[in-house]
Amino acid sequence: MDDAKKIRSALISVFYKDGLESIVRKLANEGVVIYSTGGTSGFIESLGVPVISVESVTGYPSILGGRVKTLHPKVFGGILGRRSLDSDLSEMKQYGIPAIDLVIVDLYPFRATLASGASHDEVIEKIDIGGISLIRAAAKNYADVLIVPSSKHYGELSEILESGHCSTTLSQRARFAAYAFAESSGYDAAIAGYTGMKAGHNEFRGVAGKSTPLRYGENPHQEGAFFGDLNEAFEQLHGKELSYNNLLDLDAAVSLIRDFSETTFAILKHNNACGAASRPLLSDAWKAALAGDPVSAYGGVLVTNRMIDEETAAEINLLFFEIIIAPGYEKNALLLLKSKKNRIILQAKPFDYQPKQFRTVLNGVLMQDKDLKTESSADFRVVTEKGTDEEVARDLVFASKIVKHSKSNAIVLVKGEQLLGSGVGQTSRVDAVRQAIDKAAAFELDLRGAVMASDAFFPFSDSVELAHKAGVRAIIQPGGSVRDQDTIDYCNSHKLSMVFTGIRHFRH
Widest distance between CA atoms in the chain: 94
Contact 388, 497 (CB under 8 A): yes
Q: In a 3-state reduction of DSSP, which class is residue 487?
A: helix
Rounded distance between C-alpha atoms, residue 199 and residue 100, angstroms: 39
Does residue 140 have an active-site annotation? Answer: yes
| Of 325, 273, 268, nearest in space to 299 by CA | 268
Answer positive or negative: Cα dihedral of 410, 413, 417, 419.
Answer: negative
Nearest to 268 by CA among 253, 254, 283: 253
Q: How far apart are CA 312 and CA 453, in angstroms?
A: 29
**Contact predicate 236/346, CB 8 Å:** yes
Give the C-alpha separation, 479 to 70, whole Å: 58
User: Which residue in 126, 238, 270, 287 is the catalytic one?
Assistant: 270
Active-site residue, from 126, 140, 152, 338: 140
First to last CA, the chain: 56
Tell me the one-letter amino acid at 89: L
Is 386 an annotated catalytic residue?
A: no
By the 10 Å C-beta count (0-12 exposed, 13-18 middle, 19+ buried), 486 is classed as middle
Residue 301's beta-bridge partner residues?
268, 323
- Find out whether 102 and 148 touch, Cβ atoms under 8 Å: yes
**Number of separate helices (H) and strands (E) present in the chain:** 18, 23
Confirm if 283 and 209 have CB atoms less than 8 A apart: no
485: nearest Cα among 505, 502, 461, 455: 461
Sign of the alpha-carbon dihedral angle for 93, 98, 102, 104: negative
Residues forming the active site: 140, 270
